[in-house]
Amino acid sequence: MTTAIAELAEERVVEGIYAVARKRRLRTRGGSPYLALELVDASGRIEGRVWNDVELLDGRFAEGDAVRVLGRVERFRDRLQLEVRSLEPAGDVDPGALAPAARSDLGELDGFLDFLAGELAHPGLRATVARVLDDAEVRGLMRTLPATPDGHHGYAGGLLQHTVGVATICHETAQLHPRLRRDLLLAAALLHDVGRTRELSPGPTFAPTAEGSLLGHVHLGVRLVDERSAALEPELRAELLHAIASHHDPRAARTAEAAVLYHANQLDAVAATRPTNE
Amino acid sequence: MTTAIAELAEERVVEGIYAVARKRRLRTRGGSPYLALELVDASGRIEGRVWNDVELLDGRFAEGDAVRVLGRVERFRDRLQLEVRSLEPAGDVDPGALAPAARSDLGELDGFLDFLAGELAHPGLRATVARVLDDAEVRGLMRTLPATPDGHHGYAGGLLQHTVGVATICHETAQLHPRLRRDLLLAAALLHDVGRTRELSPGPTFAPTAEGSLLGHVHLGVRLVDERSAALEPELRAELLHAIASHHDPRAARTAEAAVLYHANQLDAVAATRPTNE
Amino acid sequence: MTTAIAELAEERVVEGIYAVARKRRLRTRGGSPYLALELVDASGRIEGRVWNDVELLDGRFAEGDAVRVLGRVERFRDRLQLEVRSLEPAGDVDPGALAPAARSDLGELDGFLDFLAGELAHPGLRATVARVLDDAEVRGLMRTLPATPDGHHGYAGGLLQHTVGVATICHETAQLHPRLRRDLLLAAALLHDVGRTRELSPGPTFAPTAEGSLLGHVHLGVRLVDERSAALEPELRAELLHAIASHHDPRAARTAEAAVLYHANQLDAVAATRPTNE
Amino acid sequence: MTTAIAELAEERVVEGIYAVARKRRLRTRGGSPYLALELVDASGRIEGRVWNDVELLDGRFAEGDAVRVLGRVERFRDRLQLEVRSLEPAGDVDPGALAPAARSDLGELDGFLDFLAGELAHPGLRATVARVLDDAEVRGLMRTLPATPDGHHGYAGGLLQHTVGVATICHETAQLHPRLRRDLLLAAALLHDVGRTRELSPGPTFAPTAEGSLLGHVHLGVRLVDERSAALEPELRAELLHAIASHHDPRAARTAEAAVLYHANQLDAVAATRPTNE
Amino acid sequence: MTTAIAELAEERVVEGIYAVARKRRLRTRGGSPYLALELVDASGRIEGRVWNDVELLDGRFAEGDAVRVLGRVERFRDRLQLEVRSLEPAGDVDPGALAPAARSDLGELDGFLDFLAGELAHPGLRATVARVLDDAEVRGLMRTLPATPDGHHGYAGGLLQHTVGVATICHETAQLHPRLRRDLLLAAALLHDVGRTRELSPGPTFAPTAEGSLLGHVHLGVRLVDERSAALEPELRAELLHAIASHHDPRAARTAEAAVLYHANQLDAVAATRPTNE
Amino acid sequence: MTTAIAELAEERVVEGIYAVARKRRLRTRGGSPYLALELVDASGRIEGRVWNDVELLDGRFAEGDAVRVLGRVERFRDRLQLEVRSLEPAGDVDPGALAPAARSDLGELDGFLDFLAGELAHPGLRATVARVLDDAEVRGLMRTLPATPDGHHGYAGGLLQHTVGVATICHETAQLHPRLRRDLLLAAALLHDVGRTRELSPGPTFAPTAEGSLLGHVHLGVRLVDERSAALEPELRAELLHAIASHHDPRAARTAEAAVLYHANQLDAVAATRPTNE
C-alpha cells in the first residue's frame, strides 16, 4: 500500500509510488556515486537518496517518470529525506497524475474564475478575457500548472488558484476605491499570469520550456494577450498590456491599476508562502 | 457666496471662507515680501499668494485660522493658485470644520469598522480591539484625522477610511488563505494605524505633535495597544504588537500575518493615490 | 536672414525660423502670464520665453509648428535663452525639417548599417534582420527619429547613428572574443532599438505615442521582431528576442550575447553624452 | 582535570566540563545519525561532534546542560572541532557559570558605568537613568548577558562592556562638540541596549525569549525606558526615546544626538569584531 | 563700522567688508541681469544679490576678492540674504583673512594634535607622522583649510579641528579595545585627511584645485603619505596607506583599524553637522 | 605520458604533471583527514582530492610546486574532480610553466599592444605609455599574469589579452565619437590594469602580494603611472590618473573618457566570462 508524501514520518520504512521531479547523479566526498532525487506526489515533495546499485538503477528511470519505491524516512538538516532501498519504474502509472496538486477544489476555483470574468461590464475587455480564459487549452493548463515552478502556489492548479486570489483582491480593492477603473484592473488581474501557460511544461517536473527560460512569463503573457486583443480600442489595449507587463516591476507602473495589480500579486504570493511563525 | 475649493476654475474671481493650513512669509527675487499660503476647505486644497499689504495682513491671522478671501484663480506650473486680493479673519467660523474631508459617508465607514471588529472570534483579540476602537476619543479622532498628513488618505476621516480599507483586504485575504490566523491578522489590521491618533493634531493643519514627530505613529501605536492588551496571552500579544511594529518594514516581518499586513497597507495606499493615468 | 540655433550668441538680437518642440503657458510669481518654449532647428535646441502679448500669441501657434521669431539671446542659469520680442507662424515651412539633426552624414551611416547587416552569415538571422531593416518605413524612421527623446542621440537620425555605434562595438567585441555567437550578437545589436520606431512620433517634438508611453520601446521592439522572425528556428528566435528584451536590464540577461549587448549599449550612450570634463 | 576551551589545541585528547549552547541531531550523507553541539565555557566556544552511541547519548542531556566530555580536537574547515568520545551529564555543575564570559573585570566596568551615570547633570535624565541602572535585576542582567547573541560582545557581561564603550565614546564626542546636548546623548547611550535584558535569556544559550524574538531589543528597550521616565518633561522624554528607537536606523534619526548614538554604536561594535588583519 | 556676518539681522541696513566666495551673473525671469554672490567673513556665510548697476559692478571684483558692501538684510526661503545697494573693492584688505574661521582656539587644537602625535610609541609610525605633521606648509594649511569645502567643518581650521576630533575618538576607542593596534589606528587617524591640503585652495573660496577635483583628497592623501613613509616596514606602510585609502568606503576596509577609522570619521562629521533638533 | 587538464574525461584513470595552485588540509565529517587541491596546467584547472596517506603526502609538497599525479577523474556536483591515488613532487619541472595560459598567441597580442600604443599622437601621452609598456619587467609580467586572479581572463597572459581588448574597444569607440579625446582614452585603456603587475605574484598561484591585498590594483596602478608621468602637463596627467583611478567606480568618473573606460572594461570582462547560454 502506497503512503502519501505528506504523511511520511521520520524513522519509518515506507513504500510508495511517486514521480521523479529531479534526478542528479552525484558522488559523496568519499568518492561513491549516488542519486539525488526529488520525489513528488499529489500531496507534496520529498528529497530522496539512492546509495546502492546506483549504476544499475540510474539507467532504469528518467526525470518525469513514475517509480515504485521502498525506503526509510530520515531527518537531514531539519527536513525529511527518503533513503531509497529499492526502486523500480512504475510504467503503468501516469506521472502527470503524481504532480503536487492544489488542496482546494479546482472545480470551485473554476467557478470563481468564471464569476469574476462575468463581472466585467466593458464589452471589449470582457471579450478579450473570454478569448483567453474560454480557450480550453489555456484553461486546462491553469488547472495543471503551478503559479511559480518553485515558489508560491508551486503545485498543479496553483496557477488557477493564484489567478482567482489576485483577481478577488483586485475586485475588492476596486470596490473600496471607486476611482479605479474596475474593469481594466480586473481584466489585468485575470490575465496577469497567463504567460505561465507558455513558460512551464506539465508536471511532475513543471520545467521551463526553452522559450520560457529565455523570454519569461511576463513577456509571453503580453504576447499571448496581444494576439487576442486586436478588437480592443488601441489605448485600452495598451493599458491592459502595460499592467500585465509591469506586474513584477512597481517602478515601471504608470497607472494606478498597474500599481494595484503589482501589490495584489505580492500580497497573494506572501499570503501563500510566508511561514505563520518563523 | 462662498465657492468650494474643488470648484475653483482658472481665470475666475472668487470669494470664499477657507482655513489656513500653512502660512510662510517669503520675499520675491526682486525683494518684495509676500505670503505663501495653503488654503483648505472640506472639498480640497489650493495654494494662495498674498502680494499686497503683506505687513498688515500677516499680523491678522495665523496657521490654523479660518479666513474670508477674495481673489483670482490662476494657473502656475500646471496647478491652480489663488492670487489673494483681500483677506480677513473669519472669527465666527470653526476652522476645524474646514479641514479637507472624506468624500465617503463616515457613518457608513463606522458601520464597516464595527462589522469587521465584530468578525473577531477570539475573545482576547476581540476585547483588545474593543478597548481601543470603542474608546470614544480614539474613535472620534479616526473620523477627524487623516491616515497620513500629506500622502494617501490625507483628509479628515482618512484614518477611518484607510483602516476600513486595510482591514477589508486582510479579511478577504484570510478567506482566500485559510492557513493564515484570521483573527490575528484582522485585529492587527484594525489597529495598525491607531498611533496616528497620537501622532497628528486636528485639522485644518494636521501637524504632527512634538511627540509625534520624534516617535512616529508606529511606535506610538505599539505603545497604545501595549497599554490596552495586558489581558491577552503573552505570545499572542507579542504577535499582535509585532505585526503593528513591522507594518512599514517588510524585512522585519517574521510572521505571515505581519507580512500580509504590510502588503495590504501598501495596496490600499497605492490604490488611493497613484494617478490612474500619468 | 535666419540664424542657426547652434550659432546663437549671448547678448545678440537675432531673427530665425524655428520649430516649437514644447509650449507651456505659465505665470510669473508676480502673476503675469508668459509662454515657455523649447525652440529647435536642425542645429540644436534653445529655451524661449514670450513675455508680451501672451494671450494673442498663444493662440497663433501650437507645439510642433514652425515659427518666425525675433528676439534677444540672454544667459539664464548658465544656459542661453531666447527672449522673444515678436513671433509669427511660418506656415510655408515644414516643421519636420527643423527637427534637431545628426551632424554625421546619414548616407554614410546607412552604408555602415548595410555593411554590418551584410556581415551576418547565418541565413535565418540575415533574413530576419533584412525583414526589419530593408522595410522602407522602418529605415526611413531610423533616419528621422532620435535614439532617445531627451537623452543620448536625441536628434533626427540619432536612432540610426546609435544603432550603427552599438552594432560596430558588438562586431569588434565578437572579433576579440571568438567564443561569442557573432551573428546572434550582431543581429540583436542591429535590432535592439527598433522599437523606438513604434514608440516615438516624428520631429520636431519626438513625443511618445500613446502606445509608446505605456508599452515602451523594449516591448514594442520585441513585438516588431517577433512578428518578422517566424521563419527563424524557435530557439534562436527566443535567444534573439531575449537579447532585445533584456538590453536595459543586465540582471535579466541569461546569455553572454545579451550581457554584451547591454554593456555595448551603455558604452555608446555614455560616449555620446557624458561631458568630456565636468 | 578540565581544559578551558580557549586552551584546546589541535590533535590533542582532552577532558573538560562544558555547557551545551546548541544541540542538533543530524545524519551524515551516508545515513548515520550524529549530534552537532556547540560547547561553551567561560573562556570561549567550540563545535562538538558525537558520532557514536548517538541514540543513547542524545537522551542524556539537553541544550543548556553542563556535560563532562572526553574527546579529541581536530581541525575542520579552518576551525577547531571536538570529536566527542564519551560524554555524561555533570549535574553538580551550574551551567550558567559556564557561559562565555568577558575577559575584562566586570567590577571595573560597573565602576565605569556608575562614573558615566554620575556625569549626568540634568536631574530628570539622571533620575531616569538611575531608575533603570540602579535596578538590581537590570544591573545583574547586564553582567550576565551579551550585547548580541552571536555578534559583537557575544559573552556574559558583553552587554555591560558594550554599554560602557558606547557611553564613553559619546561622552568624548560631546566634549569635542559642545553644541551637542551632552546629557541627552549620554543618557541615551547608557540606556540604548537595555532592551537586551528583556530580549535574551541567561547563558549558556542566551536564546531570545518568545517576546524577544518577535519584538526585538529596540522596541523592548523603548518600552522599558518609557515605563520608567514618566517624571521627565514630555519633550525631553520623547527625545530620549527617539534616540533609543533609532539607534539601528540612521535614516530615522532626527536629532544630532540620535545620529551620534547610531555611529558610536557602530564604532564600538566594529572595534570589537572586525579582524585586525583579514 | 563693519558688521560681522554672524550678527546680521533681518530687516536691517548694514555695512561691512566681506570676501566674495562665489559670484555668478544671472538673469531674472523678467530678463534683467543680476549678480548672485556668496559673501563670507570669519564669522560665517550669507547669500548676496546685486540688482542694480550690474554691468558696472560686475567688472569691478572677482571671486576671492574682498569688497566693501552696503545693503539690507532680507529673509528669502527661510534664510537671510543681503540685498546689496552699493559695493566697491576693498583692495587694502586681505581676503584670506575673511575666510570663515573655526570658533575654537587653533593654538589649543595644535597642542592637542601634538599631544596625540606624541602618544605614538612605534618609532616608524611616529617618524612618518612627524614627516607629515611637522612640515610647516602642511601644518599651516591645516590651520587655514576646511575639512570639507561645503560640508562638515567647512571653515578655515576645520581640517585641524576634524583631524583632532577623529584622532581623539580613535585614541579613546583603542583604550576601550586593547586588541586594536593603537599606533596604526592613531597614525591613520592623524593623517587620514591630509590629502585635503593638496585638494583645496585657500580661502575665502576653498575651491578645489584642478588636480584636486580630478583625483580627490583620498588619493592625494595616500600619495602624500606614500612619499613620506619609505622608511616604514613595507607591510605596516601598506596597512597605513590602506586605512587612509578606505576611510570613505567601509566595504573596502580589510582591517579592524581601517573600519574603526571609517566609523570615527563618520561620527565626528555627523556630530559637527546634524541639526540637534530638526 | 601526461594528460592535459583540458582533456581529462569523467571515469578515466590518468597520469599527469600539474602545479598545485591551492592546498588545504581538511577533515571529512567522519573525521578522516584529506587534502583538497587545486591543480593547474597550461590548459586549465581541476579540483583534486587526496584521501590516503594524507600525513605522509602532505609533507612532500607545497602550494606552488609541480607534482606528478596518478588518479581517477570523477564528477562531483557537476564538475570534474581528480581523486588522487599517488602523488610525488616533480622537482625537475618549472611550476611557473604549468600556470594556466592564454589560448591566444601572446606574440600576436604583443603586436596588437604595440600597434595601439603607436596610434597615440600626443607626444606626452605616447612617452608616458612607452615608459610603462616598454619596461621589459612590466611587459614580461603582462604576458605571465592574469587580468584577475579568479575572474575574467584568469590565466597567464590574461592581463595582456584584456589590456588589448579594452584598448581596442576604446579605440573603436573614439572613432565612433570624435568628440572624445582619443589619445587620453587610449592611453588610459592601455594603462588601466597595469597595477595588476604590482598586485599579483607569478603563477601557478597568482596569489596577491601583501601590498596587493591591502592596496589593490587600482591604487597600485595609479602610483605606478604617477611615478612615470612627471613629464606630462599637470592637468592631462591628472586626467589620465583620474581615468585609471575610477575604472571600477562609474559614479566617480568625472570625464567622458573615464566613464567610457569603465564601460569598455565591463564589456570586455563580461564578453570573456558570461556563459553563452545558462
pLDDT value of residue A30: 63
The Cα–Cα gap between D237 and D225 comes to 9
Residue B151 pLDDT class (50, 70, 90 cuts)? confident
Cβ neighbours of B26 in C, within 8 Å: none
Share of chain E above pLDDT 90, in %: 74
Nearest CA in chain B to A168: B172
* C75 inside 8 A of chain E by CB: yes
Q: What is the DSSP letter of F255?
A: S
If you average pLDDT over every residue of chain D, what do you get?
92
Are F and D neighbours with ≥3 CB pairs closer than 8 A? yes
* Cβ-defined contact of D264 to E259 (cutoff 8 Å): no
Chain D interface disruption, residue of F23, F26, F29, most D CBs within 10 A? F29
* Amino acid identity for residue E232 in this structure: L
Share of chain A above pLDDT 90, in %: 75
Inform me whether the pLDDT recorded for B145 exceeds 80: yes
Q: How do beta strands D13-27 and D33-41 pair?
A: antiparallel
* Amino acid identity for residue F186 in this structure: L
The Cα–Cα gap between E100 and E157 comes to 9
Q: Please report the ipTM that was assigned to this predicted complex.
A: 0.90
* Cβ-defined contact of E219 to F222 (cutoff 8 Å): yes
Inform me whether the pLDDT recorded for B152 exceeds 90: no
Burial class (CB in 10 A: 0-12, 13-18, 19+), D147: buried
The Cα–Cα gap between C10 and E31 comes to 13
Chain B interface disruption, residue of C23, C29, C35, C211, most B CBs within 10 A? C29
Is the distance from CB of B197 to CB of B146 less than 8 angstroms? Answer: no
pLDDT per position as a tens digit, E212-231: 999 999 999 999 999 999 99
Interface partners of D (3+ CB pairs, < 8 Å)? A, B, E, F
Residue bearing cell 585627511: E193
Report how many helices (DSSP H) and strands (DSSP E) chain C contains, helices first. Answer: 10, 5
The Cα–Cα gap between E112 and C48 comes to 59
Angle at alpha carbon of residue F271, lines to F266 and F277, rounded to 5°: 130
If you average pLDDT over every residue of chain A, what do you get?
92
* Cβ-defined contact of A276 to B255 (cutoff 8 Å): yes
**Region class of C264: left (phi > 0), else alpha (psi between -120 and 50), else beta:** alpha
Cβ neighbours of A30 in F, within 8 Å: 28, 51
User: For the residues A137-154, what does the mean pLDDT come to?
Assistant: 92
* Cβ-defined contact of C26 to B74 (cutoff 8 Å): no
Kindly give the residue spans of alpha helices, DSSP state H, lying in chain C: 54-58, 106-118, 123-133, 136-144, 158-176, 182-191, 196-199, 210-227, 234-245, 256-273
Would you state the cell numbers that stand for residue C203, as one nine-digit string? 520631429
**What does the CA dihedral E187, E189, E192, E196 come to, rounded to 10 degrees?**
-110
* Amino acid identity for residue A59 in this structure: G
Residue D231, SS3 per DSSP? coil
Chain D interface disruption, residue of A74, A80, A85, most D CBs within 10 A? A74
Residue E2 pLDDT class (50, 70, 90 cuts)? confident
For residue A31, give the nearest of F29, F77, F83 by CB distance: F83
Q: What's the gap in Å between the CA of D242 and the closest CA on chain B?
A: 6
pLDDT value of residue B250: 87
The Cα–Cα gap between A146 and A193 comes to 10
pLDDT value of residue C277: 65
Q: What's the gap in Å between the CA of D250 and the closest CA on chain F?
A: 23
Inform me whether the pLDDT recorded for E70 exceeds 80: yes
Chain D interface disruption, residue of E177, E246, E267, most D CBs within 10 A? E267
Interface partners of B (3+ CB pairs, < 8 Å)? A, C, D, E
Nearest CA in chain B to E30: B30
E strand segments, chain E: 13-27, 33-41, 44-50, 66-76, 79-89
Q: Pick the closest to residue E112 from E176, E189, E167, E58 (CA basis).
A: E167
What phi and psi, each to the nearest 5 degrees, are found at residue D15? Answer: -130, 140
pLDDT value of residue A203: 85
Chain E interface disruption, residue of D177, D185, D268, most E CBs within 10 A? D177
Cβ neighbours of C210 in A, within 8 Å: 234-235, 238
The Cα–Cα gap between B36 and B21 comes to 11
For residue C260, give the nearest of F181, F239, F271 by CB distance: F271
Q: What's the gap in Å between the CA of A188 and the closest CA on chain C?
A: 14
Is the distance from CB of C74 to CB of C10 less than 8 angstroms? Answer: yes
Residue F239 pLDDT class (50, 70, 90 cuts)? very high
Least reliable range by pLDDT among A31-35, C120-124, D100-104, D141-145: A31-35
The Cα–Cα gap between C138 and A51 comes to 61
Angle at alpha carbon of residue E96, lines to E90 and E99, rounded to 5°: 100
* D243 inside 8 A of chain B by CB: no
pLDDT value of residue D30: 63
Report how many helices (DSSP H) and strands (DSSP E) chain F contains, helices first. Answer: 10, 5
For residue C241, give the nearest of A210, A215, A238 by CB distance: A215
Query: DSSP letters of B24-41?
Result: EEEE-TTS-EEEEEEEEE
Rounded to two decimals, what is the model's pTM?
Answer: 0.90
Inform me whether the pLDDT recorded for D178 exceeds 80: yes
Is the distance from CB of C53 to CB of C89 less than 8 angstroms? Answer: no
List C residues 21-50 in contact with B (Cβ-Cβ < 8 A): 24-27, 29-31
Are E and A neighbours with ≥3 CB pairs closer than 8 A? no
Q: What's the gap in Å between the CA of C137 and the closest CA on chain A?
A: 21
pLDDT value of residue A31: 66
Nearest CA in chain B to E51: B30
Residue E30 pLDDT class (50, 70, 90 cuts)? low
pLDDT value of residue C151: 80
The residue ranking higher by pLDDT, F251 or D112, is D112
Burial class (CB in 10 A: 0-12, 13-18, 19+), F137: exposed
The Cα–Cα gap between B165 and A267 comes to 14
The Cα–Cα gap between C212 and D273 comes to 53
* Cβ-defined contact of B28 to C31 (cutoff 8 Å): no
* Cβ-defined contact of D25 to A76 (cutoff 8 Å): no
Count of all residues that appear for chain A in the document: 278
User: For the residues A87-91, what does the mean pLDDT come to?
Assistant: 92
The Cα–Cα gap between C192 and C258 comes to 10
Cβ neighbours of C176 in F, within 8 Å: 164-165, 168-169, 268, 271
Inform me whether the pLDDT recorded for A204 exceeds 70: yes
Would you state the cell numbers that stand for residue B105, as one nine-digit string? 459617508
For residue E169, give the nearest of D164, D173, D253 by CB distance: D173
Nearest CA in chain D to A28: D29
Task: Kindly state the helix (H) or strand (E) to which residue A211 belongs, with its residue range.
Answer: helix A210-227
pLDDT per position as a tens digit, A221-268: 999 999 999 999 999 999 999 999 999 998 899 999 999 999 999 999
**Which residues touch D90 (CB under 8 Å, ≥6 apart)?**
D17, D65, D66, D67, D68
Residue E149 pLDDT class (50, 70, 90 cuts)? confident
User: Tens of pLDDT along chain C (278 residues)?
Assistant: 688 998 998 888 999 999 999 998 887 766 678 899 999 999 889 999 998 888 889 989 999 999 999 999 987 767 888 999 999 999 899 998 899 888 889 999 999 999 999 999 999 999 999 999 999 999 999 999 999 987 888 899 999 999 999 999 999 999 999 999 999 999 999 999 999 999 999 989 999 999 999 999 999 999 999 999 999 999 999 999 999 999 999 889 999 999 999 999 999 999 998 876 65
Task: Kindly state the helix (H) or strand (E) to which residue B270 belongs, with its residue range.
Answer: helix B256-273
* D195 inside 8 A of chain E by CB: no
Share of chain F above pLDDT 70, in %: 97
Residue D33, SS3 per DSSP? strand
Interface partners of A (3+ CB pairs, < 8 Å)? B, C, D, F
User: For the residues D64-90, what does the mean pLDDT come to?
Assistant: 89
The Cα–Cα gap between A265 and B267 comes to 10
Cβ neighbours of F34 in A, within 8 Å: 29
Task: Kindly state the helix (H) or strand (E) to which residue C97 belongs, with its residue range.
Answer: none
Share of chain B above pLDDT 70, in %: 97
pLDDT value of residue E275: 76
pLDDT value of residue C147: 96
For residue F272, give the nearest of C177, C268, C276 by CB distance: C177
Is the distance from CB of D257 to CB of D242 less than 8 angstroms? Answer: no
Are D and B neighbours with ≥3 CB pairs closer than 8 A? yes
Least reliable range by pLDDT among B160-174, C234-248, E74-88, F245-259: E74-88
Inform me whether the pLDDT recorded for F76 exceeds 80: no
For residue E27, give the nearest of C34, C51, C76 by CB distance: C76
**Which residues touch D2 (CB under 8 Å, ≥6 apart)?**
D15, D16, D17
Inform me whether the pLDDT recorded for E88 exceeds 70: yes
* C257 inside 8 A of chain F by CB: yes
Q: What's the gap in Å between the CA of C261 and the closest CA on chain F?
A: 9
Q: What's the gap in Å between the CA of F136 and the closest CA on chain C?
A: 25
**Which residues touch D31 (CB under 8 Å, ≥6 apart)?**
A49, A51, A74, A83
Q: How do beta strands D44-50 and F79-89 pair?
A: unpaired
Give the CA distances from residue F186 to residues F119, F129, F171, F244, in Å, rounded to whole numbers and listed in that order.
Answer: 9, 10, 6, 11
Nearest CA in chain A to D26: A76
Would you state the cell numbers that stand for residue A179, as one nine-digit string? 476611482
Cβ neighbours of D25 in A, within 8 Å: 75
- Tell how far CA D232 is from the center of its chain: 29
Q: What's the gap in Å between the CA of C249 and the closest CA on chain F?
A: 14
Cβ neighbours of C267 in F, within 8 Å: 169, 173, 260, 263-264, 267
Q: What's the gap in Å between the CA of C51 and the closest CA on chain E?
A: 8
User: For the residues D183-190, what does the mean pLDDT come to?
Assistant: 98
Long-range contacts of C72-75 (CB under 8 A, 24+ apart): C72/C11, C72/C12, C72/C13, C72/C14, C73/C8, C73/C9, C73/C10, C73/C11, C73/C12, C73/C13, C73/C14, C73/C46, C74/C10, C74/C11, C74/E27, C74/E31, C74/E33, C75/C10, C75/E25, C75/E26, C75/E27
Inform me whether the pLDDT recorded for B195 exceeds 60: yes
**Which residues touch B100 (CB under 8 Å, ≥6 apart)?**
B40, B41, B42, B43, B44, B45, B146, B154, B155, B156, B203, B204
* A168 inside 8 A of chain B by CB: yes
pLDDT per position as a tens digit, F89-117: 998 999 988 998 888 899 999 999 999 99
Residue C234, SS3 per DSSP? helix
